[in-house]
Amino acid sequence: MMGGDVNCSATPGEGAAFEFSARLKVDRQAPAEAGAAPVRALDSDRRPRVLLAEDHFVNQQVIQLMLGETAELVITGDGQAALDAFLQGPPFDVVLMDTQMPVMDGLTATKRIREAEARGGLPRTPIISLTANAMGHQVEACLKAGADLHLAKPVTSAGLFSAINAVLAGGGAEAPRKSA
């Protein structure tokens, strides 16, 4: 139906290789914003200090590659390590918090960060919840724990930069936002 073909070649004990071709058309009726250049910069006059709490090595590397030199990135592999890094300072401008991690999950770590801010009279640090859990009740759980924004995985660079810019512009002091 797409004017293409599918081929397969296999060698017993070694595996198989699949190839396909298809004729695809460019959608000339796409919305105007689809052609807009993706956001790949942070709206900041300095490199923000970003804490990434993410237990999966590949996801850590993806975020690190996306941010590149635009941010000072500190990476932790579980919620307890993220809480410890947050409490030890210096302060972070943004926290990127996975929700499902070993030792301490991201929702608990987010709550503990908010409790520490309240106890110490510290300014609210923007927290962006990064998770594949994107159903309404899951997003609500992230916001209820104290996240400012929910960003569903898989994360795109445009989505990541837009989310960070949004929380930096709001300073994290406003009411929690919905899913990005």
State if pTM tops 0.85. Answer: no
Q: How much is the pLDDT for 134? A: 75
Q: How much is the pLDDT for 180? A: 53
Q: How much is the pLDDT for 161? A: 92
Write the pLDDT tens digit of every residue in 131-165.
Answer: 887 778 888 888 999 999 999 888 899 899 999 99
Expressed as residue numbers, the domain containing 103 is 42-170
Phi, psi of 174 (to 5 degrees): -85, 175
| Residue 37 belongs to some domain of the structure | no
| Residue 116 belongs to some domain of the structure | yes
**Residues of the chain below pLDDT 50:** 32-39, 171-178
Spatial contact of 142 and 150, defined as CB atoms under 8 Å apart: yes
CATH number of the domain that residue 135 is part of: 3.40.50.2300
| Residue 119 belongs to some domain of the structure | yes
Q: How much is the pLDDT for 144? A: 92
Q: How much is the pLDDT for 114? A: 96
> What is the count of structural domains for the chain?
1
CA dihedral 68, 88, 176, 146 (to 10 degrees): 130
Q: Say how many C-beta atoms besides its own lie within 10 A of residue 41's C-beta.
A: 8
| Residue 34 belongs to some domain of the structure | no
Measured distance CA(120)–CA(154) in Å, rounded: 35
Q: Token pair 């899913």 is at which residue?
A: 179
Spatial contact of 85 and 49, defined as CB atoms under 8 Å apart: no
Q: How much is the pLDDT for 178? A: 46
